[in-house]
Structure 1
């Protein structure tokens, strides 16, 4: 009862129509038919006047909407004395708003779930072990936080406890809990498992993953689909057809009531409701599949996409190098270390470097369980390498020329292996003797080849790579992925020019870095890899992939195509059923009151048809390719 009261308060026109109907029935039952007719007619006439004024304003602004038929139907039924039918049409219009609101709420569920779960407080652990509850915005990087069982992690952090289990379903779609160990990254928005854990904040609340997602969702939920306007394009032909059928029925029968009976079932609520409900459903489905579509109109463009362009590093590749081989030097005059010893000392030295390869070398050593050493005199020579004393030995790590300068006169010369395009080598010397090399590559994403293949199967006519990397590195990767067209060594301006001139359109651009922000903005649809990508890229894009998975681009195109198809199907379903009912009414087989009631059923059918978009999309790109690699050089 409470819910019903709240609903009636939320929709006062529905409440008023029901109240007028109830009073009218009581008056009619008391043999006060005239009073009932006056009450209902005045109410329906007032609603028609209000809607008519709004309609005229829209027409002056150059917009002919489908509400023209509804107003005409109310007026026609009043003129022929079918005042109960008038009331039902009013109730239908008011109820249509309520149905649309419910349907949109149903379709927005995946989006609003994120907004409802925004963390507000954090439990900070002080130096003395005391716990203070503070606003999440007051959390600073490095703060130690307590996350209690079933609580949401408030900011991006690293796990300080030995282990923990987290539900990341709202972020990644993964339904199973994810187990983490000390040092692992914990994303804000994750739900802690059954045991309390401690984490170390690694980002401010405003910069955390969950807050970024929430901002994207706010933008998405406030957007409006251009295809909603497409429904208004049916207004003129549908209105003319309806008036023609009604006029012919009146002329043939000689009964003006027949005119009103036809217009009653010609009311256009299904057309008004179907498109927005379908698009909200598509956006909801995209969010559930790890893609936040910021503007609902993006789904329509995705459905018509004919060209897709990819950045390379961080998009088709993982964006960070990995150690693929450790080659210790052997023979007289070398340091003669084992592979693990070489990796350990290089990883230890790279702790004091800011180079892009440093983190990969440290991580490789840690992954093998090697204990890294400390140095008190380590120094980095910019763009060349690191010199340090580790465990009493002089170590030099970096470029070959830098390391060669540190070799003793009686040491074996530095050996430089032949490297294929895309590989990088880090050299090392210990106590003036060559110690060996470590090889790194930036691996191609396992799902990249299947993604390109699936896009072609979706009807994409042209796939290209647009990258700032050198041609010798980019072209072999593109060939391995089935991409024929490569634009390498591009500056941001070059990327913008290439995408602006690309055909056929619409053009989708997929990227992740700061340098991709301009080209994402100029593309018909810009898609940012947001899991590790830059904030600038995410802000300029039309859609953001929240997972570290480029195959979600296929998911976005699939959802866009299916959403538009469902929207159009729902619109045409409403048109076909309405035309069928008009023909029945034109034959005199459908009284005005019965027609008005049947139109409510048509509304419901259109909404249910549009809600199919909530399930749009595929499960996942099926095949995963064997990793191929490429990398930056030191």
Structure 2
């Protein structure tokens, strides 16, 4: 426990923990960070010297006055908390100090003070251990970049000064500072900080490289495609900083346990005094009734769970989200880019009034101004066929519907059948086989044809939904803007029976809010998913390909393009909550056992104070189990 009773929130990444350098703090730093610990040790040494000199009475006075001074200091914060409606176990701590001093157990009073003040150091140690993976992401963020001029000479500049198009040098074992394209012939990167994948990844010239990737053994050249604030690693850093800003409901529940526990301890101590007639019995019971786990263990477990998730490439924005995801009963999924791979291919061009390649060229020229994954696939196919795309300053994306653009004398519409039909005559539905999608094209007010696309199912999709069912997610839903036939084909493949197709963003929000089995988790990746991700009890964004809007609206961002991480996030959440509650009850149960033994006169005050610290340590070590993956059920 921390002597400063105002520190009732859980440890955070910005708290006064151990130095970020990872080395041991200096003596001066330790004294500044834990002044009451230093004073308690000094008081203890003084008492020991006096006892060795045969001066027991002065030793008792020194210990008693110091312990009571700490009790008064603790009482100030305690009263302030009570006035604000926050009742904690500080009452037990203060009462135990006063009681031990009153019955002459001054050595025990010093140990209690040391245990209380040492709780701050214990909390910092546990929190720093639990947040190791999160803080490592912050520590490895690059501060400078090496910009190359036309002569190939490098100049070190702040990373914030990097502009799009700058050519940068990345030396061996350096972190890529901003999102970029690889200019060198090939390179190896460690992307484990971004994706959780431990194996190195090889990229070739022209491949996109995400900021935060660790360069391999050779120096490389890259060309910046985004400024620092728009790069992926900066988004991760922002998410990590947000991750420790909230308290989980189970942590607040631990605060509520403190009230009945305090009442029980005081009643038992009073009863032991009444039965025995010995006031020392009252002090002995209270000495073992000051469990730190109620304040520390649960927050440490949640920080450990978030750190464990980060190691797997899952950024959870807060402890409350981790608690929420543990109680999810319904999982809703977008289709394109979520259940499917998000890499559609063009299977057929069905032209009505234009040559097929002319239809593809006009459609791709318009689709280059859209953020939809189908648009990217159409543009890629056109470029692969050697077509030269037109550009324009007059293009508009109509979210979830399509895109309109004006090229010279041609007005082009590309998107859903209903969207094109609003502005083009003679639009006819096209026949599709299972799993196909149709992109409709209108030119100058007339229906021009369709592009037939196919987006294959993710190989891990069916296994992910099966894993969610074993984790207690009893209902799965697909919410998509695509045609019903295509949606049902994908739903049948993964085992989703509740399928809602042809939806607009507002329809998805309405349906998520109306789902009966709460809590509801929504998984999506596109900019059109941002509203429903925000509306769901837990929003999960596939951040590896998803838009910034989707990632900002979500509660959880998956940095690796792997749907199986959704089940991993639920698994981490459930295990973390279980460990947090276990840790709380381990502390309570062991303390209650010690209290009954002390009430029977079997534990002297000094031994009780030392035993209570062992209880604290056991509960906190159990909370740190949230850092480990645990064993997956078959």
TM-score normalised by L of structure 2: 0.83
Tell me the distance in 1 between the aligned counterparts of 2:270 and 2:388.
92
> How do residues 424-439 of structure 1 correspond to structure 2 at under 5 angstroms?
424=437
User: Which residue of the partner structure matches residue 10 of structure 1?
Assistant: 33
> How do residues 87-98 of structure 1 correspond to structure 2 at under 5 angstroms?
87-98=110-121
1:130 aligned onto 2:143? no
> How do residues 52-71 of structure 1 correspond to structure 2 at under 5 angstroms?
52-71=75-94
User: Which residue of the partner structure matches residue 196 of structure 1?
Assistant: 219
Which residue, out of 559, 584, 587, partners 2:572?
559
- Shift of residue 561 of structure 1? 0.6
Contact 1:353-1:380 at 8 Å conserved across structures: no
Tell me the distance in 1 between the aligned counterparts of 2:306 and 2:508.
28
Tell me the distance in 1 between the aligned counterparts of 2:333 and 2:454.
19
- Shift of residue 10 of structure 1? 1.5
Tell me the distance in 1 between the aligned counterparts of 2:391 and 2:485.
39
1:512 aligned onto 2:525? yes
> How do residues 136-147 of structure 1 correspond to structure 2 at under 5 angstroms?
136-147=159-170
- Shift of residue 253 of structure 1? 1.3
Contact 2:298-2:583 at 8 Å conserved across structures: yes
Tell me the distance in 1 between the aligned counterparts of 2:280 and 2:309.
48
Contact 1:574-1:606 at 8 Å conserved across structures: yes
User: Which residue of the partner structure matches residue 537 of structure 1?
Assistant: 550
> How do residues 268-347 of structure 1 correspond to structure 2 at under 5 angstroms?
268-323=291-346
Which residue, out of 232, 244, 248, partners 1:225?
248
User: Which residue of the partner structure matches residue 118 of structure 1?
Assistant: 141
Tell me the distance in 1 between the aligned counterparts of 2:268 and 2:324.
36
Tell me the distance in 2 between the aligned counterparts of 1:244 and 1:381.
75
Superimposed CA distance per residue, residues 267-317 of structure 1 (whole angstroms, 9 cap, x where no aligned partner): 121221110110100010111111111111111111111111112222222
Tell me the distance in 1 between the aligned counterparts of 2:479 and 2:528.
12
1:290–1:583 Cα change, 3 Å: same
Which residue, out of 479, 496, 505, partners 2:509?
496
Tell me the distance in 1 between the aligned counterparts of 2:527 and 2:116.
48
1:180 aligned onto 2:203? yes
Which residue, out of 357, 360, 378, partners 2:377?
360
- Shift of residue 354 of structure 1? 3.4
User: Which residue of the partner structure matches residue 593 of structure 2?
Assistant: 580
Secondary structure of the 1:183 match is coil
Between 1:316-325 and 1:222-231, the stretch displaced more is 316-325
Secondary structure of the 2:77 match is helix
Between 1:377-386 and 1:192-201, the stretch displaced more is 377-386
Tell me the distance in 2 between the aligned counterparts of 1:84 and 1:141.
66
Contact 1:426-1:437 at 8 Å conserved across structures: yes
- Shift of residue 346 of structure 1? 9.8
Superimposed CA distance per residue, residues 468-518 of structure 1 (whole angstroms, 9 cap, x where no aligned partner): 223232222222211111222222222222222222211111122222222
Secondary structure of the 1:238 match is helix
User: Which residue of the partner structure matches residue 492 of structure 2?
Assistant: 479
Contact 1:558-1:618 at 8 Å conserved across structures: no
- Shift of residue 418 of structure 1? 5.0
Between 1:50-59 and 1:38-47, the stretch displaced more is 50-59
Contact 1:347-1:372 at 8 Å conserved across structures: no
Contact 2:530-2:554 at 8 Å conserved across structures: yes
Superimposed CA distance per residue, residues 188-232 of structure 1 (whole angstroms, 9 cap, x where no aligned partner): 011111111111111111111100000000000333333221112
- Shift of residue 185 of structure 1? 1.3
Secondary structure of the 1:444 match is coil
User: Which residue of the partner structure matches residue 453 of structure 2?
Assistant: 440
1:492–1:34 Cα change, 3 Å: same
Between 1:345-354 and 1:373-382, the stretch displaced more is 373-382
- Shift of residue 78 of structure 1? 1.2
Between 1:445-454 and 1:1-10, the stretch displaced more is 1-10
Tell me the distance in 1 between the aligned counterparts of 2:405 and 2:321.
46
Contact 1:107-1:277 at 8 Å conserved across structures: yes
User: Which residue of the partner structure matches residue 40 of structure 1?
Assistant: 63
Tell me the distance in 2 between the aligned counterparts of 1:378 and 1:300.
48
Contact 1:352-1:380 at 8 Å conserved across structures: no
Contact 2:513-2:536 at 8 Å conserved across structures: yes
Between 1:539-548 and 1:163-172, the stretch displaced more is 539-548
1:449 aligned onto 2:462? yes
Contact 1:352-1:386 at 8 Å conserved across structures: no
- Shift of residue 384 of structure 1? 10
Contact 2:367-2:378 at 8 Å conserved across structures: no
Tell me the distance in 1 between the aligned counterparts of 2:539 and 2:497.
21
1:66–1:23 Cα change, 3 Å: same
User: Which residue of the partner structure matches residue 541 of structure 2?
Assistant: 528
Between 1:78-87 and 1:442-451, the stretch displaced more is 442-451
1:437–1:235 Cα change, 3 Å: closer
Tell me the distance in 2 between the aligned counterparts of 1:149 and 1:350.
43
Tell me the distance in 1 between the aligned counterparts of 2:572 and 2:347.
37
Contact 1:124-1:133 at 8 Å conserved across structures: yes
User: Which residue of the partner structure matches residue 285 of structure 2?
Assistant: 262
Tell me the distance in 2 between the aligned counterparts of 1:90 and 1:376.
76
Tell me the distance in 2 between the aligned counterparts of 1:225 and 1:376.
52
Which residue, out of 258, 261, 265, partners 1:238?
261
Specify the structure having the higher radius of gyration (Cα). 1
Contact 1:282-1:616 at 8 Å conserved across structures: no
Tell me the distance in 2 between the aligned counterparts of 1:346 and 1:201.
33
1:372–1:53 Cα change, 3 Å: same
Structure 1: tracts of 5 or more residues without a match:
328-334, 336-341, 389-397, 400-415, 429-435, 623-634
CA RMSD, 1 decimal:
3.4
Tell me the distance in 1 between the aligned counterparts of 2:503 and 2:363.
30
Secondary structure of the 2:344 match is strand
1:348–1:134 Cα change, 3 Å: farther
1:153 aligned onto 2:176? yes
Secondary structure of the 1:318 match is coil
- Shift of residue 132 of structure 1? 2.0
Between 1:256-265 and 1:30-39, the stretch displaced more is 30-39
User: Which residue of the partner structure matches residue 404 of structure 1?
Assistant: none
Secondary structure of the 1:531 match is coil
Tell me the distance in 2 between the aligned counterparts of 1:486 and 1:136.
46
Superimposed CA distance per residue, residues 507-553 of structure 1 (whole angstroms, 9 cap, x where no aligned partner): 11112222222222222111111111111121122111111112211
- Shift of residue 598 of structure 1? 1.2
